[in-house]
């Protein structure tokens, strides 16, 4: 996970023991060929980095961080569980090429035991993939691919500053399936200025023709500091309309449901339980994970830390032998852990056990159910279709 956090000089995190659930590893690849106008992730183009960092120096530093983390975890009271999931994200991991991604997985295996049934995912930009790329990473041990499609409408892709051609994502998904990947995801963004219902239908037609077993769909969020935010502020683009976003979400859900996809998280649909992204479920269920790479976030037993963001500084910290390259860390209080548990688990189709709600949350539950935003099934709070549209509001009610 790579959400922004203020960098600060800090001592190494004071680690707590493993939480007892599944353990995953996230690897952040900070490189992109170009910067998309809506993106506020910790990414850098070659021109922005200059000579301060490269894929080679990043991989060397990654190996060092993995070794440092493995040594630190070995000092904890309980034995480290096998790694159940790996997720390589970015940025654009596919810019490393098939051999580069194979090297990343080899670096993880050199320090950490992987479970026999480990889910190993990489994100990829359709334009930097090929049949040979998918064959190489499948042979290396990757089991799942997530492709950034965003839209099948060329004018929508232009507004997003995406570089791939509209048909390439579908072609890449088919190539991945042909290479032996059972689990392939396509990412959509809806609500882009200028997108029509017909544009969205075109995108959904393309997704459903690709033979994938997982779809993620996210409403466009105009993040401060991005090129898109500046265009909206200058009046060059309209801000996304909330009513339009809700209508688009309902359209997506209806089309996917009719095609055999079930939602399991508010923004994610899968054809079978085995197609669900186990790594992301680890986040949503409050699991433990190591986040390796510049700006990556980690969580272990209620302690969270985040790495220095710039790839050059990240490599320098590793080379210095100063321990984990953390820019900051925090030990979550019981109240903070409760808040995050409610925020995340409410969004899951499996729901939130009612018994986990504090007294205030149980008091609010009655009104949430009366308003048709949630139901209680098997002693779990589960969002209704209408509640999914207002999930953030449901969380606020339960925590107020």
Mean pLDDT to the nearest integer, 82-95: 96
Alpha carbon 215 to chain centroid distance? 13
Burial of 349 (0-12, 13-18, 19+ CB in 10 A): middle
Do residues 67 and 145 both lie within one domain?
yes
Given 227, 251, 285, the domain boundary residue is 285
Which domain CATH number covers 360? 1.10.10
Given 253, 269, 285, the domain boundary residue is 285
Mean pLDDT to the nearest integer, 2-11: 45
Judge whether residue 223 has pLDDT over 90. Answer: no
Long-range contacts from 229-236, C-beta under 8 angstroms, 24+ separation: 231/37
Model confidence band, residue 6 (pLDDT cutoffs 50, 70, 90): very low
CB 43 within 8 A of CB 101: no
Do residues 210 and 274 both lie within one domain?
yes
Model confidence band, residue 41 (pLDDT cutoffs 50, 70, 90): confident
pLDDT at 10: 53
pLDDT at 341: 95
Do residues 53 and 148 both lie within one domain?
yes
Residue-number span of the structural domain to which 365 is assigned: 334-399
CB 24 within 8 A of CB 84: yes
The DSSP call for residue 42 is S
Q: Is 231 helix (H, G, I), strand (E, B) or coil?
A: helix
Q: Per-residue pLDDT tens for 168-195?
A: 999 999 999 999 999 999 999 999 999 9
Q: Per-residue pLDDT tens for 106-162?
A: 999 999 999 999 999 999 999 999 999 999 999 999 999 999 999 999 999 988 888
Do residues 350 and 267 both lie within one domain?
no
Query: Peptide bond preceding 91: is omega within 30 degrees of 0, i.e. cis?
Result: yes
Among 129, 76, 65, smallest CA distance to 101 is for 129
Given 222, 256, 285, the domain boundary residue is 285
Do residues 280 and 379 both lie within one domain?
no
Instruction: Find the helix or strand (DSSP H, E) in which 245 lies.
Output: helix 242-258
Do residues 104 and 199 both lie within one domain?
yes
CA–CA gap between residue 344 and residue 266 (Å, rounded): 10
**Overall domain count for the chain:** 2
Do residues 267 and 338 both lie within one domain?
no
Do residues 62 and 176 both lie within one domain?
yes
Asked whether residue 320 is assigned to any structural domain, the reply reads no
pLDDT at 36: 78
Judge whether residue 56 has pLDDT over 80. Answer: yes
Question: Which percentage of the chain shows pLDDT scores above 90?
Answer: 82
Q: Who has greater pLDDT, 6 or 81?
A: 81
Evaluate the CA torsion angle 106, 170, 152, 198 in order and state its sign: negative
Q: Per-residue pLDDT tens for 243-300?
A: 999 999 999 999 999 999 999 999 999 999 999 999 999 999 999 999 999 999 999 9
How many residues appear in the chain? 400
Question: Which percentage of the chain shows pLDDT scores above 70?
Answer: 97
Among 319, 299, 317, 218, smallest CA distance to 26 is for 299
Residues 6 or more apart from 386 whose CB is under 8 A from it?
Answer: 372, 373
Measured CA to CA in angstroms, residue 285 lies from 57, 99, 262, 351 at distances of 34, 33, 19, 10
DSSP strands (E only) in the chain: 23-29, 83-90, 114-124, 144-150, 183-190, 214-219, 262-265, 268-270, 288-292, 297-300, 303-307, 326-331, 352-353, 374-377, 380-383
CB atoms within 10 A of CB 53: 23
Asked whether residue 8 is assigned to any structural domain, the reply reads no
Which domain CATH number covers 162? 3.20.20.70
Mean pLDDT of the chain: 93
Structure tokens at 264: 């399991």
**pTM for the structure as a whole:** 0.93
Do residues 170 and 231 both lie within one domain?
yes
Asked whether residue 328 is assigned to any structural domain, the reply reads no
Do residues 386 and 256 both lie within one domain?
no
Measured CA to CA in angstroms, residue 336 lies from 161, 228, 267, 394 at distances of 37, 32, 24, 18
CB atoms within 10 A of CB 260: 12
User: Helices 197-209 & 168-178, crossing angle to 10 degrees?
Assistant: 20
Model confidence band, residue 5 (pLDDT cutoffs 50, 70, 90): very low
Q: Tell me the backbone φ, ψ of residue 378, rounded to 5 degrees.
A: 50, 40
pLDDT at 377: 93
pLDDT at 9: 44
pLDDT at 381: 97
Do residues 339 and 281 both lie within one domain?
no
Q: Is 310 helix (H, G, I), strand (E, B) or coil?
A: coil
Model confidence band, residue 3 (pLDDT cutoffs 50, 70, 90): very low
The DSSP call for residue 44 is B
């Amino acid at each position: 996970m790579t959400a922004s956090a203020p960098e600060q000089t800090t001592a190494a995190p004071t680690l707590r023991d493993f939480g007892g659930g599944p353990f995953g590893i996230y690897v952040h690849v900070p490189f992109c060929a170009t910067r998309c106008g809506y993106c506020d992730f910790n990414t850098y183009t070659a021109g922005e980095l200059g000579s301060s960092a490269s894929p080679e120096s990043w991989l060397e530093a990654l190996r060092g961080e993995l070794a440092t983390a493995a040594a630190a975890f070995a000092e904890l009271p309980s034995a480290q569980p096998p790694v159940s999931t790996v997720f390589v994200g970015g940025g654009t991991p596919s810019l490393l090429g098939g051999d580069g991604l194979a090297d990343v997985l080899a670096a993880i295996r050199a320090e950490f035991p992987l479970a026999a049934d480990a889910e190993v995912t990489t994100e990829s930009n359709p334009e930097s993939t090929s049949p040979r790329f998918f064959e190489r990473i499948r042979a290396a041990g990757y089991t799942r691919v997530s492709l950034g499609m965003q839209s099948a409408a060329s004018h929508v892709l232009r507004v997003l500053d995406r570089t791939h051609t509209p048909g390439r994502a579908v072609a890449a998904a088919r190539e991945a399936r042909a290479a032996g990947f059972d689990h392939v995801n396509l990412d959509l963004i809806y609500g882009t200025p200028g997108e029509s219902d017909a544009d969205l239908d075109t995108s959904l037609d393309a997704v459903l023709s690709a033979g994938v077993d997982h779809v993620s769909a996210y409403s466009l969020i105009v993040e401060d500091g991005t090129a898109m935010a500046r265009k909206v502020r200058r009046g060059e683009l309209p801000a996304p309309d909330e009513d339009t976003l809700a209508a688009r979400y309902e359209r997506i859900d209806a089309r996917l449901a009719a095609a055999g996809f079930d939602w399991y998280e508010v923004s994610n649909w899968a054809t079978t339980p085995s197609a669900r992204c186990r790594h992301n479920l680890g986040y949503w269920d409050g699991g433990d994970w190591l986040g390796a790479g510049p700006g990556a976030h980690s969580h272990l037993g209620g302690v969270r830390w985040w790495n220095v963001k710039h790839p050059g500084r990240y490599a320098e910290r590793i080379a210095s032998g100063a321990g984990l390259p953390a820019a900051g860390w925090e030990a979550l209080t019981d109240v903070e852990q409760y808040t995050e548990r409610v925020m995340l688990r409410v969004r899951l189709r499996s729901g939130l056990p009612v018994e986990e709600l504090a007294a205030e949350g149980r008091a609010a539950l009655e009104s949430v159910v009366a308003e048709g935003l949630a139901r209680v099934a098997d002693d779990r709070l589960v969002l209704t279709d209408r509640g999914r549209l207002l999930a953030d509001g449901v969380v606020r009610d339960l925590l107020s």
